[in-house]
Structure formats: structure tokens, C-alpha cells
Amino acid sequence: MAASRSSSSWLTPLVLSVLLACTAASGDQHRLSVSYYDKTCPSAQHIVQSVMASRVAADQAMAPAVLRLFFHDCFVNGCDASVLLDDATPFVESEKDAGPNDSLRGFDVVEEIKYHLEHSCPGTVSCADILALASRDAVALLGGPTWNVQLGRKDSRGADRDAAENDLPSPHENATGLITKFAEYGLDARDMAALSGAHTVGTARCLHYKDRVYGNDGEGGADIDPSFAELRRRTCQAGDDVVAPFDEQTPMRFDNAYYKDLVARRGLLTSDQALYGCGGPLDHLVEMYSKDANAFEKDFARAMVKMGDIPPPPGMPVEVRLKCSMVN
């Protein structure tokens, strides 16, 4: 991990020139390219892959944690690494403190990657691009697909706690709400169905799924397998913070078992099961993905590229941060 910088002694003329060169407005940044760092930091992708491989080997849970960070970043004012900022100044109200983000993890993994990149290519690779690359590698390390990541994002100079409270899809969302939320960012129903497959790995707290497993009568509703509801009610007896896997079959393998769970009415969250059971196009997609892992992986990779292209609002001040948790 990078050592903290607590004084102004590190603001050498070279660093100051980097800060000035790295500050821009978001309207100038959004020309993404797979080859963006080929000349300025050719080792960037290797560094990200190496750190991710090491951290996931030590703790597989870091893979879904980093993937979740990317989702929560892009759905709040675009993919700008705002989710990584601490409450460092009166002008930054950290998104980490928003309710939907209170269980986010993996910040230290991103900072470790950034530390190595700053040693190799100072002031060059943005934290937003680190998130995009690390998410791709997280999926691949758990056996999922890989894809070419478009690069060239910049980092915001602020955060938006209110947007983090209100703009992220809720675990209690119904299908209409999910489609509407995703459409606000240019993502269609097929993108939404594929991206929801990220829940084939990772866990959720009872706080977020107890509404589904208890229902109005304490036994769950008609859209949940009774034995699954009972299993998760027993889990919840340990309290709201106890976790359960999204996919009980292969909880740390990136595969299509999530969709098989939905067909069996064993989706963990209300927003998971909302994808299946009402008839129509979403049911068709879930059934297809449950039977055809290649179709799911192809659509997931395409949708991740599309989500990663969500830009910050025009005119937002951006930069390449030297430390991901604080503005320059």
C-alpha cells in the first residue's frame, strides 16, 4: 500500500506540473480507446492483473467486491472513480457514507494498484480506469469471460452522496424500476438482465433480502421456493448483517448458475427474482442464459463495455488523481 502523504513536501515542481497537466473538464475526456496507455504506460494492464491475481488468490471475495465498486461508481454520475473518494475536504461528501455503499469493500485493492502504477507511470493512469480494468480481471479470475477495456477515463474532483443514496438500483426494486434505472444510463433491458448476472458471485446481507424471504406473512411469497425461503430465514436469525451467497451452487465461480436459481425461484434479492416470473422478454432472456452460458458471457462482456462508457456530466472538473481516495 502507498504511504500516506501528510505534508506539502511531496509537491515538487515535477508533481505540480503533473497536477496541472492532469486537470481538465469532463467534456474533453470522453474519447476512450483500448490502446490509450500503449505509449504512456504500456505496463498498466499487467500491473492491474498482477495485483488482482495476488489479492484474489489470498481472498476470493475481493473479486466480487471490486466488481461491485465499478457498478456503484458508474451508476452515480458516470464512471469517474467518485466512489473512491474519502471525506477529505468540506467540498467532498464521500459516497462511501451513502446507505447503499455502507458495505462496499476493495478500496485497499484499488489503492495498491494505484501505488504500483504511480511508481511505474506517475500521474498517468486514472483511478476510474483502474476500476474498469480490475473489474474485468475480477470476472476472469473467477472463471468468467474477458474483454477489451476501453480506456482514457478521468477522475472526478468531487463526489455526490445524494446521488449515491438515490440513483443506485435498490435490492427491493421490481422489474419496471430496474428497467427505468438502467435506461437512464443508456442501458436497455437486455443489458440489465446480463449485468444482473454479476450476482452469480458474492454475497448480500440479510438486511437486503429479508423482505423477500419473510414476505407479508412471514413465510415468503408465491415467487420464492419455500425451502429456500426457510433456509434464508434461518440465516437471518443471526441478525441483519449476516451474509448469504447470491448463488448457493457455485458462490465464487462466475458462471450462469444465477439464472438457474431464478428459474427455480431461488433468487436471493427481490430485484434478482424480479427478472423472472412475470412472462415476457425478461423471462426469455433468463431462460436462455440459464441454458446457454456462452450467450450470457457474451452479453455480459458487451454490457460491461457499454456500462463502462457512461461519462461524467458535461463540464464536471476531472483529473488523474495521484491517490484514489483524495483529489489532487
Residues known to be catalytic? 72
DSSP 105-121: --HHHHHHHHHHHHHHS
Is 42 marked as binding a ligand? no
CA 233 to chain centre: 27
Is 155 marked as binding a ligand? no
Q: What are the beta bridge partners of residue 67?
A: none
Burial of 29 (0-12, 13-18, 19+ CB in 10 A): buried
Residue 122's identity, in one-letter code, is: P
Is 100 marked as binding a ligand? no
Is 200 marked as binding a ligand? yes
Is 35 marked as binding a ligand? no
Is 76 marked as binding a ligand? yes
Is 261 marked as binding a ligand? no
Is 80 marked as binding a ligand? yes
Is 156 marked as binding a ligand? no
Q: What are the beta bridge partners of residue 33?
A: 151
Give the contacts of 210 (CB within 8 A, at least 6 positions apart): 236, 240
Is 169 marked as binding a ligand? yes
Cα separation, 98 vs 119, in Å, equals 32
Give the contacts of 68 (CB within 8 A, at least 6 positions apart): 104, 105, 106, 198, 202
Is 247 marked as binding a ligand? yes
Residue 98 has phi, psi (to 5 degrees) of -70, 145
**Helix residue spans in 142-225 (DSSP H):** 161-166, 175-183, 189-195, 206-214
Could you tell me which residues are annotated as the binding site for heme b?
199
Could you tell me which residues are annotated as the binding site for substrate?
169
Could you tell me which residues are annotated as the binding site?
73, 76, 78, 80, 82, 95, 169, 199-200, 247, 250, 255
Could you tell me which residues are annotated as the binding site for Ca(2+)?
73, 76, 78, 80, 82, 95, 200, 247, 250, 255
